[in-house]
A and B are shown apart, each in its own frame.
Chain A
Amino acid sequence: QQQVKQSPQSLIVQKGGISIINCAYENTAFDYFPWYQQFPGKGPALLIAIRPDVSEKKEGRFTISFNKSAKQFSLHIMDSQPGDSATYFCAPMNTGNQFYFGTGTSLTVIP
């Protein structure tokens, strides 16, 4: 599944800082762009998602920025907290509900 490239692989941020995770894709048929959050021992949980008709979506401290022409979308976590420490996956989806998971980003927020 080389259609999705996620970066960075790991990220360490101070409490209160901004965490930024990027996802680049190749398939122009993707029409749904979610980010999933996974804690150890748990399944991935939908965090925030965007459709391609908007360029940005904000939910609390979490924002998705979407650049259709560049085929990229990113997750911004404002005022990062230790409780945000988890693994984050981008998983763009095409019709038929087929997700293409990125390689994951391990985020550590230092108190």
Chain B
Amino acid sequence: SAVISQKPSRDICQRGTSLTIQCQVDSQVTMMFWYRQQPGQSLTLIATANQGSEATYESGFVIDKFPISRPNLTFSTLTVSNMSPEDSSIYLCSVAYSDGQPQHFGDGTRLSIL
């Protein structure tokens, strides 16, 4: 399966600032996704990162708050903008080689907002 690297692995940020999380895959993949997971909770899909076009956001998530880029088939970024303590969470990148194939996850970015 794919080797997925997320950077940073953790960060502590000040309220009102923004952080960009990077997701790098060791091989080309068709689909890339971003999730949020509160500690001890399930995963919630934020958006599907589309190469060469705007990301597809789930209900409750907007581009102004979570801008996403995907410049090629191996890399994507998620920015958490104007952060508040409610944004403290684990952010996970996942990939799938094609439609109908399982998703594989990175180890996540643990974000704390002071």
Query: Which A residues contact B (CB, under 8 angstroms)?
Result: 1, 31-32, 34, 36, 41-46, 49, 89, 93, 95-99, 101-104
Determine the chain A residues whose CB is within 8 A of the CB of B101 once the complex forms: 97
Does A97 lie within 8 Å of B107, measured CB to CB? Answer: no
25 pairs of residues in contact across A and B, judged by CB atoms under 8 Å? A1-B44, A31-B100, A36-B105, A43-B94, A43-B106, A44-B92, A44-B105, A45-B105, A46-B1, A46-B102, A46-B103, A46-B104, A49-B102, A89-B42, A89-B43, A95-B100, A97-B33, A97-B48, A97-B99, A97-B103, A99-B45, A99-B103, A101-B43, A103-B41, A104-B42
- A102 vs B94: C-alpha distance when bound (angstroms): 17
Determine the chain A residues whose CB is within 8 A of the CB of B105 once the complex forms: 36, 43-45
- Residues in B37-69 with C-beta less than 8 Å from chain A: 41-45, 48
Does A102 lie within 8 Å of B104, measured CB to CB? Answer: no
Determine the chain A residues whose CB is within 8 A of the CB of B106 once the complex forms: 43
CB distance from A43 to the nearest CB of B (A): 3
